[in-house]
Amino acid sequence: MYDVAIVGCGVIGAATAYALARYDAKVVVLEAENDVATGTTKANSAILHAGYDPKPGTKMARLNVEGVALAAEICEALDVPRKACGSLVVAFTEAELPTLQTLLAQGQASGVPGLQLLGGAEARALEPNLSAEAVGALYAPTAAIVSPWDYALAMAEVAVKNGVTLCRNTRVTGIEKTVAGWALETTGGAVSARYIVNAAGLGAEALHNLVAPHRFTTQPNRGEYDLLDKSEGARVNHVVFQCPTAAGKGVLVAPTVHGNCIVGPTAEPVAGEDTATTAAGITALEAAAKKSIPSVNLRATIRSFAGVRANTDDPDFIIETAVPGFIDLAGIRSPGLSAAPAIGLEAVRLLQENGFAAPKKAYFDNTRRVTRFAALPPAEKAALAAKKPAYGRVICRCETVTEGEILDAIHTPIPPVSVDGVKRRTGAGMGRCQGGFCGPRVLELLAKESGLPPEKIPQDKAGSNILLGQTKQGKGE
Amino acid sequence: MTDYQLIVVGGGPAGLAAAIAAWEEGLTKILVVERDRDLGGILNQCIHNGFGLHHFGEELTGPEYAGRFVQKLAETGVSVLTDAMVLEVTPEKQVRLVSREMGYQELTAQAVVLAMGCRERTRGAIGTPGTRPAGVFTAGAAQRYVNIEGQMPGKRVVILGSGDIGLIMARRMTLEGAKVLACVELMPYSGGLTRNIVQCLQDYDIPLYLSHTITEIRGKNRLSGVTVAQVGPDRAPIPGTEQDFACDTLLLSVGLVPENELTRAAGIPIDPHTNGAVVYENRETECPGIFACGNVLQVHDLVDYVTAESELAGRAAAAYLAGGCPADDEPYIAVDAGAAIGYTVPQRIRPGKIDKSAELFFRVRAPMKKSRILVTSGGVQLAAYPRERLAPGEMERIQLPKSLLQKAMGSITVSAEEVAE
Ligand SMILES: Cc1cc2nc3c(=O)[nH]c(=O)nc-3n(C[C@H](O)[C@H](O)[C@H](O)COP(=O)(O)OP(=O)(O)OC[C@H]3O[C@@H](n4cnc5c(N)ncnc54)[C@H](O)[C@@H]3O)c2cc1C
Ligand SMILES: Cc1cc2nc3c(=O)[nH]c(=O)nc-3n(C[C@H](O)[C@H](O)[C@H](O)COP(=O)(O)OP(=O)(O)OC[C@H]3O[C@@H](n4cnc5c(N)ncnc54)[C@H](O)[C@@H]3O)c2cc1C
């Protein structure tokens, strides 16, 4: 019997596990897929928003501001790539200037530090490739960019290191109330727990409805992106937003922590977790991005992708006790990534309201180190490759990821089981050739280290097999 | 004192030929650095016949062709470092590399030959909408799985792009028991060699859909199908012409991109049309003593031409050292790609540095019937070369005699025009 079962291991489930790992309690995270952060957490704008967007007084506003302050500490402690590059919300007409005023006022009311209104020329001085049409901008120095999947992974890994159990390939399919708490039926067998935290993202409504009366309706909304080659990586230095409208925050152009440039998202209602890209989306992005940054080169796209927002009919995050012992962390759309660690702490408070009384542990190991060969200065490269020859073999030539780093990843507390799992942990395959060269080698390493035959190694989720058998020669015919 | 007279980056056919030529010209301290475990480059996975007709006068497989050069190299005193990746080349010809065996090294050389080959364009670069399942491969990656690892990437296959690698893989997958449903080409003509269209598609009844493209990729985890549509003259899909193919594999053969990250980082100017370095007649880049040859300079369709070009570069590197590593101040003639011509290599010719003639390589932008190739300077025609036909998939070459170049005024323009039959 677990004290707490967290359902879902996106950034919200991971942040909750990270918060709970400090307590002397038995905690399990149940994740439907074969890895952490394969849902919305891996496909978003990757911005730690400064916090001027949400209406002051909402949970969104408070948790956003608290969350990004915590994110700075967590990324530092857990070696997560994060860069405080600042953001600009740009007005292109006089008519949009009052929107900037509104955002400034909201930000000030919510306690966002350092906000500043700029004229068009001042904005262009900060961001030289900004359109000549820009007439003003709201500058937020605290906005940052992050590697979203690495962020979630880091918190989950440290939680596991401190005793939390993570069960992958474990989809919760039924929940029954018991005397002591809950009995969960999962694709990985039966689990029982005193408390449940619902962090199931797009699956949160279905999970809620298993135990409580209908409370909210999910309105999935897809956002498409283009990720551009590093040759476009210096096109912008800040996150460049357009003025938000009723449809959302609009299309941004931003650097990524990996040195690329990202353009997106679109906004379009979809039926479910539909992450397909569309011809219309790809076309729309080009026009929208060029409005902000006319020189951005969309032909340098190395990957198009889409993520689905877990919007609901409630304009705020749904962070509350659904029924005693069952806590919803639902409707966590943007700024969910930004707010995540604050949402994790909020979950602990709600659990305590529900009777969770475990004391804090005497010792919590809040460390994580990742070797990133490419980023090291020459002398350290030399020392590392001398010490461990595997750091001398480059597997991903576009991103200069070595065999040593891939082996490191395979031996972390949450080892990757797929080629994309290795990519999320090391960056191998993220570059301009998109795994064309290194994919087969990563697959080979995964097969060797796991003892599985190559055709059992998936690209990403279960069922995404890369190889469908052996050649005639391979079979010895 | 430098560590080496010459460092060659890349041990494919280009790097091998350059190193051997430099050795034969008398250089004695040469190092070839290769990222892979074996020398030979992309040829190691090209197990089909068709290499070496020009160079050896016989048809070899890729590994056989490479093997002859590897053998020849072994008979020289050239040093080889495999499983070693060059991370950086500086204009001062410092070469930074890392390898399992030797760790991280900073080596110096008097001359450098860049021979890194090219990589394939991917799905992201062509922006095909849809889901992102497993089962979408570049043709070369699939070729590696089949020919090197003995693994089958799929059973029901559609191929996008009719470049040579796609055509070769259509045949290969068929021979391995897969069903190749279609080869889909955006342009109204194929980008591959005619012999490959005949031997790899027609001989196996694989339909070639010209002026078609893939408009959607479907499948949640593994590919389940693609939609193919006809395109108009603007290359945009024509609504109503869509047809669906149920398939588990999509191979992309949509072009090669020279692998010039090292070149760019060294600050060497790149020609936007070739995506390779701007070079002189001897394949020297704008950085004196740094040369480029093979697919890293221009995408070749025949390895024989790669060899010839690389021998030129290797000899030039030796001559550069023999000449005391001169700074570059010789006057040159700029070569411009004129009407109907996509690019030329070299882009610059120094008449003072050539013997009898310079060879010029180029591709036309679109297929042409009976044509002539014109060389002009300042509006004056200097030479004309007749051709029965021209195609973008087949690299063309002409000889420019020294006497002709001496008549040129600052620059020459190469163009092509069709003539009445
Ligand atoms: C287009 C877009 C752009 C965004 N941009 C930003 C941004 O720039 N900044 C920002 O702060 N936020 C942004 N967001 C929001 C942010 O991405 C999300 O708020 C955050 O990722 C939500 O995390 P999550 O853990 O709730 O959901 P998810 O990451 O989707 O995780 C939910 C997990 O639950 C699992 N699950 C579901 N059902 C079950 C079940 N029954 N049993 C077991 N497991 C289950 C799923 O497999 C999944 O792994 C953006 C979102 C989108 C879509
Ligand atoms: C599928 C296919 C079919 C073909 N069919 C034919 C045919 O039928 N007939 C024919 O004549 N030609 C054919 N070719 C063309 C021929 O193979 C190529 O033109 C030739 O291989 C190019 O030689 P290269 O040395 O320039 O490049 P490559 O062969 O690509 O070699 C480049 C080498 O450089 C290495 N390298 C790159 N970067 C670094 C670095 N930073 N550090 C160390 N090493 C590095 C690479 O690992 C590689 O080994 C075919 C090519 C392909 C891909």
Domain extents in chain A: 1-82+146-217+313-369, 83-145+219-311, 373-456
Backbone angles phi and psi of A78, in degrees to 5: -105, 10
Q: What is the pLDDT of residue A477?
A: 42
Assess whether pLDDT exceeds 90 at residue A246. Answer: no
User: Catalytic residues of A, which ones?
Assistant: 49
Decide which of A163 and B163 is more confident: A163
pLDDT tens-digit map of A40-75 = 999 999 999 999 999 999 999 999 999 999 999 999
**Cα dihedral: B288, B290, B291, B292 (round 10):** -130
Whether this model's pTM surpasses 0.80: yes
Beta bridge partners of A476: none
Residue identifier of the C-alpha nearest atom 35 of ligand 1: A8
Task: Give the mutation candidate from A393, A417, A467, A471 for the B interface (greatest B CB count, under 10 A).
Answer: A471
CA B38 to ligand 1 center in whole angstroms: 44
Decide which of A245 and B398 is more confident: B398
CA-nearest of A175, A186, A146, A159 to A31 is A186
pLDDT tens-digit map of B378-398 = 999 999 999 999 998 889 999
CA-nearest of B159, B116, B114, B115 to B140 is B159
Closest approach of chain B CAs to the CA of A235, in angstroms?
17
Contact B186, B206 (CB under 8 A): no
In total, the C-beta contacts within 8 angstroms joining chain A to chain B are 150
Assess whether pLDDT exceeds 60 at residue B323. Answer: yes
Atom of ligand 2 nearest to the CA of B140: 1
Contacts of B155 in chain A (CB under 8 A): 468-469
Residue identifier of the C-alpha nearest atom 1 of ligand 1: A223
| ipTM of predicted assembly, 2 dp | 0.91
Nearest ligand (C-alpha, residue B88): 2
Per-residue confidence band for A475, with pLDDT thresholds at 50, 70 and 90: low
A373-456: CATH, from 2.60.40, 1.10.540, 1.10.287, 1.10.10: 1.10.10
Query: Are A436 and B222 in contact (CB < 8 Å)?
Result: no
Query: Are B134 and A464 in contact (CB < 8 Å)?
Result: yes
Q: What is the pLDDT of residue B283?
A: 97
Burial class (CB in 10 A: 0-12, 13-18, 19+), B262: buried
Assess whether pLDDT exceeds 80 at residue A247. Answer: no
Token pair 């003995």 is found at B150
So where are chain B's domains? 1-120+255-325, 122-254, 330-421
Q: Is the CB of A264 under 6 A from ligand 1?
A: no
Fold of A83-145+219-311: D-Amino Acid Oxidase; Chain A, domain 2 (3.30.9)
Which of helix, strand or coil describes residue B90? coil
Q: What is the pLDDT of residue A474?
A: 61
| Average per-residue pLDDT for chain B | 95
Assess whether pLDDT exceeds 70 at residue A81. Answer: yes
Percent with pLDDT over 70 in chain B: 100
Query: Are B87 and A437 in contact (CB < 8 Å)?
Result: no
Find the mean pLDDT for residues B154-177.
Answer: 95
pLDDT tens-digit map of A146-180 = 999 999 999 999 999 999 999 999 999 999 999 99
Domains B1-120+255-325 and B122-254 share a fold: yes
Q: What is the pLDDT of residue A452?
A: 95
Query: Are B124 and A227 in contact (CB < 8 Å)?
Result: yes
Find the mean pLDDT for residues A378-407.
Answer: 95
Assess whether pLDDT exceeds 60 at residue A379. Answer: yes
Name every residue whose Cβ is closer than 8 Å to that of residue B152 and which is 6 or more positions away in sequence: A467, A468, A469, A470, A471, A474, B145, B146, B176, B177, B178
Chain A contact present for B36, CB below 8 A: no
Nearest ligand (C-alpha, residue A65): 1
Percent with pLDDT over 70 in chain A: 99
pLDDT tens-digit map of B213-246 = 999 999 999 999 999 999 999 999 999 999 999 9
Assess whether pLDDT exceeds 90 at residue B329. Answer: no
Does residue B135 come out as left (phi exceeding 0), alpha (psi in the -120 to 50 range) or beta?
left
Query: Are A432 and B119 in contact (CB < 8 Å)?
Result: yes
B330-421: CATH, from 2.60.40, 2.30.30, 3.40.50, 2.160.20: 2.60.40
Fold of B122-254: FAD/NAD(P)-binding domain (3.50.50)
pLDDT tens-digit map of A189-238 = 999 999 999 999 999 999 999 999 999 999 999 999 999 999 899 999 99
> If you count them, how many residues does chain A have?
477
Helix (H) or strand (E) holding B364, with range, is strand B357-364
Residue identifier of the C-alpha nearest atom 3 of ligand 2: B165
Contacts of B85 in chain A (CB under 8 A): 394, 397, 400
Burial class (CB in 10 A: 0-12, 13-18, 19+), B355: exposed
Assess whether pLDDT exceeds 70 at residue B405. Answer: yes
Assess whether pLDDT exceeds 90 at residue B324. Answer: no
Find the mean pLDDT for residues B70-87.
Answer: 97
Q: Which of A29, A36, A41, A317 to mutate to test the pocket of ligand 1 (most atoms within 8 A of CB)?
A: A41
Per-residue confidence band for A476, with pLDDT thresholds at 50, 70 and 90: very low
Q: What is the pLDDT of residue B194?
A: 87
Contact B133, A464 (CB under 8 A): yes
Nearest ligand (C-alpha, residue B41): 2
A1-82+146-217+313-369: CATH, from 3.50.50.60, 3.40.50.720, 3.40.50.410, 3.30.365.10: 3.50.50.60
Q: What is the pLDDT of residue A455?
A: 92
Any idea which of A289-293, A434-438, B165-169 has the lowest mean pLDDT? Answer: A434-438
Does residue A250 come out as left (phi exceeding 0), alpha (psi in the -120 to 50 range) or beta?
left
Query: Are B103 and A454 in contact (CB < 8 Å)?
Result: no
Q: What is the pLDDT of residue B124?
A: 83
The CATH number of domain B1-120+255-325 is 3.50.50.60? yes
Q: Is the CB of B163 under 6 A from ligand 2?
A: no
Burial class (CB in 10 A: 0-12, 13-18, 19+), B201: buried
Chain A contact present for B239, CB below 8 A: no
Q: Which of B33, B44, B46, B259 to mutate to test the pocket of ligand 2 (most atoms within 8 A of CB)?
A: B46
